[in-house]
Structure 1
Amino acid sequence: MSDRTPPTERPGGYRRLFSRTSWPEARFLADVLRTETVGGALLLVGAVIALVWANSPWGDTYTALGKWVPWSGGESLHLDLSLAKWAADGLLAIFFFVVGLELKREFVAGELRDPRRAALPVVAAVGGMVLPALIYVGVNLIGGGEGLRGWAIPTATDIAFALAVLAVIGSYLPQGLRAFLLTLAVVDDLFAITIIAIFYTEGFSLLPLLGALVPIALFGLLVQKRKTWWWALIPLALVAWTLVHASGVHATVAGVLLGFTVPVLRGKDGDGDARNGLAEHLEHRWRPISAGFAVPVFAFFAAGVSLRGADLGAVVTDPIVLGVVLGLVVGKCVGILGSTFLLARFTRAELDEDITWTDLLGVSFLAGIGFTVSLLIGELAFGVDSASGDNVKTAVLAGSLISAVAATVVLARRNAAYRRIALKEQVDVNQDGVPDVYQQPGG
């Protein structure tokens, strides 16, 4: 038996934080990073096009496009939505379906299945949501309290944007740090979904919501039996989405519920190892659609705020803007960094030997990129066409940009340091494609 100390432990039984994950988790993370890098780039392109168009001499056509109702006859089913609403309520349901698959995978086969490993991202996510909300509430109470309904706007982390930035600037950063950001963002999404369902539901109707359970149950029955009939699954998903939308609960919640029904594991192979279920198959199929189409289109319709003729002084001093920017830039960073420090202090845990607190500072700044879900909550809180809604867009864009720049400054230097180490100590890879570090005891 080897006397090598496992990477998650240290003498005295105390745990190390941000330790390396298993090889299957590392491969999964690499796949996610590749997809989200492209998705994040497309998201940025969509947002830039929207901003340029909205502030051009043809800005009115951008506004008119977002307000156009393609199906005016859907009023009886609450489906007489504008293109902008279809993007927020419809396309984002695909994004949240993938989130539902990610959440279930994390709880069944990922980092969150082990309470000891789950403690860190959960505590960090809570700290990274509570402090931004408190900062926003404090700023708005001082400013008169008119914008308190938007308290949840700075609590969200945009997984696509954050992972895309990390993939571009942090190719040599430790794998445990990347896994932490992904798991943190997934937990963050879970809390954001809960907040949307509880605090931003209007005109609630119980009967349609109960009716939605029927197509969701049928969807779950089919996927449990590994039936991937698109002609059955997609209509069931659409019926579930329609009923949830008619209930007053935000329709994207339907995507999460459908994702939760998909099995993650199925039986065991000849070696006694659990085999992947349908969740991984569906995630591989739908993640590119979510990251490459659904989220960028939503960004295009949500990010186009016009600053032509705007009083920039009034915008900058608006408590809503200040609360969102400070919440994203300061609240997220201090909340995540502080809660992790407290967890380490009270559990006597230490950072993994490959990671420093400066690394965590950079990742905490990354979590302040709150683009997609923050814009969605802003629309739910203040509406699409209101002055406050436009100010929310400006604030989310500014806060996310500042957080991204701060993260880049910190992590680019750390990445350069890790790159120098990697060039000196090349990691050997066996013929089976698995790095030696994952084949050592405790690896």
Structure 2
Amino acid sequence: MSSDDQLREKAPLEKPAEKLLAPLSQFVRSQAASGILLAIAVVLAMVMANNGFHELYETIKHLHFSISLGSTAVDMSLKHWVNDGLMVLFFFLLGLEIKRELIAGELRDVRKSSLVFFMAAGGMILPALVYLAVNGVTDAGAARGWGIPMATDTAFALGILAAMGSRVPRVAIVLLSALAILDDIGAVMVISLFYTDEVLLAPLFRAVFVLFLLLVLNLSGFRRPLPYGLLGVALWWFVLQSGVHATTAGILAAMAVPARPYGSTTWFLEKMEDIVKRFRKTHDPDQSVLEKDEHEELAEEARKVARATLTPLQRWERAMDIPVSLLIVPLFAFLNAGVLLPDDIGYLFTAPVPLAAALGLTVGKAVGISAFAWLGLKLGVARMPEELVFGHLVGLAFLAGIGFTMSLFVNSLAFEDAVSLQEDAKLGILMGSLTAAILGTSILLWLHRRGDSNDD
């Protein structure tokens, strides 16, 4: 029995409950969990859309919900509430991750992360060019989907790497995470600049004013979530009314979240040492914290000190990660991935839109990321991580072609008024993402086996 078990006070059924729930808890917190749930949502949507449940699936998507306040009302289908509402939280979480990476992560030092910047540039430029080359730039309607193959689905890609475990060097996960963040930054810029048809200035100015208030809160040292939450909702509403896609509000709100803690690490050490010293003076091993008011107060003080040492950015990112990745993103996938499969499978290889989306995600991503990485290394601007060989970069380049969530999102904007093109693009996204996943996984596993055989 560990010393931790000996010192803890457990309830009568706590030990068997822990044994029962521990695997579930580990799964929920694992990188693979969101990818698995995403895959289940996609399969469920495809099954319902292609058999007797098709009408039920369409009914669920188009269920209408209305929220009204006085004379103002918002009435949208469930699909639109998720796409324009709940997905704002996904983009807010994405914005928090971007801000963390820029301040304290892999993207903080441009010189050290130059390889990622080269890879991201190739991973955005080449897929768009491949899409346009297949569709033909003269077809204005189909060409509008050029942004579809640009981004990486972080949940799926990192979920595959997590499932592979020690077969892939740890630095590969860090590299792919940073690459996905940069891809997502590019996708957000594309959404804001190229998939906004009409902008109304009055609500846009109101949104700018709300963003200004958020920044003032940050600079004034406010770290409680309530005012940020209320202003965040107002920002979402004004951005939605302006014509700019509402998810942009999530990124903007995240940029205003404080990244400074209340107390430094030195302050934390001094406070905790003082609390522990006072706790020791009155400590009685035969009494629980429930029986001693002073111990309860000290424990509460320790909790507040620990909380004040973490930044709001860290706390809110951690609080939102599980509900967004395990609920919102799978729900989005379920409502958007269901597409009727063609009777003639050859249609996938002859129709320009699904072929362009699929080739953009596979050929475009793989060639773009690999070629730009090679260029950066040859120029001496980028440096290869010690644990990796160039083959690892090729494998990661294919995994970056899993563009699922963000590709579906861009597709819904690009072909909002062209249902047939939107359905075609979905087929291409599914085909391209699946192919990219298989090829990327195969390359990385082959490199691992080759490494084992060389060691022998």
Q: Which TM class, normalised by the smaller chain length?
A: 0.7 to 0.9
Partners of 2:27 and 2:33 within 8 A in 1: no
2:61 is equivalent to residue 66 of structure 1: yes
Partners of 1:78 and 1:245 within 8 A in 2: no
Q: CA 1:132–1:77 in structure 2 vs 1: closer, same or farther (change >3 Å)?
A: farther
In structure 2, how many angstroms separate the alpha carbons of the residues matched to 1:255 and 1:229? 15
The aligned runs of 1:259-278 (5 Å cut-off) are: 259-266=254-261, 268-270=264-266, 276-278=310-312
Aligned to 2:184, which of 186, 189, 197?
189
In structure 2, how many angstroms separate the alpha carbons of the residues matched to 1:90 and 1:175? 35
Partner of 1:383: 416
Aligned to 1:294, which of 328, 335, 342?
328
Aligned to 1:280, which of 314, 317, 327?
314
Aligned to 1:358, which of 387, 391, 394?
391
The aligned runs of 1:49-198 (5 Å cut-off) are: 49-71=44-66, 79-141=74-136, 144=139, 146-198=141-193
Partner of 1:407: 440
Please state whether the residue corresponding to 1:227 is helix, strand or coil: coil
1:57-89 alpha-carbon deviations (Å, 9 max, x no partner): 120111121122211869986832211111111
| Structural RMSD (CA) | 2.9
Partners of 2:115 and 2:382 within 8 A in 1: no
Partners of 1:33 and 1:163 within 8 A in 2: no
Q: CA 1:222–1:151 in structure 2 vs 1: closer, same or farther (change >3 Å)?
A: same
1:39-71 alpha-carbon deviations (Å, 9 max, x no partner): 111111111111111112120111121122211
Opposite residue 169 of structure 1, the aligned amino acid is: M
1:160-217 alpha-carbon deviations (Å, 9 max, x no partner): 1111111112434222221110011001111100000000002211211221233334
Partners of 2:115 and 2:377 within 8 A in 1: no
Please state whether the residue corresponding to 2:65 is helix, strand or coil: coil
Partners of 1:169 and 1:411 within 8 A in 2: no
Q: CA 1:387–1:72 in structure 2 vs 1: closer, same or farther (change >3 Å)?
A: farther
Partners of 2:115 and 2:384 within 8 A in 1: no
Larger-Rg structure: 2
Partners of 1:320 and 1:388 within 8 A in 2: yes
In structure 2, how many angstroms separate the alpha carbons of the residues matched to 1:201 and 1:78? 23
Please state whether the residue corresponding to 2:434 is helix, strand or coil: helix
**CA displacement at 1:393 relative to structure 2:** 0.8
Partner of 1:336: 369
In structure 2, how many angstroms separate the alpha carbons of the residues matched to 1:37 and 1:57? 31
Opposite residue 161 of structure 1, the aligned amino acid is: F
Aligned to 2:223, which of 217, 224, 227?
227
Q: CA 1:156–1:84 in structure 2 vs 1: closer, same or farther (change >3 Å)?
A: same
In structure 2, how many angstroms separate the alpha carbons of the residues matched to 1:345 and 1:68? 55
**CA displacement at 1:291 relative to structure 2:** 0.5
Q: CA 1:208–1:395 in structure 2 vs 1: closer, same or farther (change >3 Å)?
A: same
**CA displacement at 1:312 relative to structure 2:** 3.8
Opposite residue 339 of structure 2, the aligned amino acid is: V
In structure 1, how many angstroms separate the alpha carbons of the residues matched to 2:111 and 2:73? 45
Q: Which moved more, 1:212-221 or 1:290-299?
A: 212-221
Partner of 1:46: 41
Partner of 2:291: none
Q: CA 1:294–1:221 in structure 2 vs 1: closer, same or farther (change >3 Å)?
A: farther
Identity percentage of aligned residues: 37
**CA displacement at 1:421 relative to structure 2:** 10
Q: CA 1:383–1:77 in structure 2 vs 1: closer, same or farther (change >3 Å)?
A: farther
In structure 2, how many angstroms separate the alpha carbons of the residues matched to 1:220 and 1:421? 55
1:119-153 alpha-carbon deviations (Å, 9 max, x no partner): 22122111101001001111111885541000110
If the length of structure 2 is used for normalisation, what is the TM-score?
A: 0.79
Opposite residue 101 of structure 1, the aligned amino acid is: L
Q: CA 1:211–1:48 in structure 2 vs 1: closer, same or farther (change >3 Å)?
A: same
In structure 2, how many angstroms separate the alpha carbons of the residues matched to 1:239 and 1:421? 59
**CA displacement at 1:228 relative to structure 2:** 2.3
2:239 is equivalent to residue 244 of structure 1: yes
Q: CA 1:348–1:306 in structure 2 vs 1: closer, same or farther (change >3 Å)?
A: closer
Partners of 2:29 and 2:322 within 8 A in 1: no
Partners of 1:219 and 1:236 within 8 A in 2: yes
In structure 2, how many angstroms separate the alpha carbons of the residues matched to 1:251 and 1:32? 32
Partners of 1:170 and 1:415 within 8 A in 2: no
Q: CA 1:114–1:52 in structure 2 vs 1: closer, same or farther (change >3 Å)?
A: same
Please state whether the residue corresponding to 2:136 is helix, strand or coil: helix
Please state whether the residue corresponding to 1:198 is helix, strand or coil: helix
Partners of 1:78 and 1:246 within 8 A in 2: no
Partner of 2:207: 212
Structure 1 unaligned residues grouped into runs of 5+ = 1-30, 425-443
Q: CA 1:403–1:72 in structure 2 vs 1: closer, same or farther (change >3 Å)?
A: same
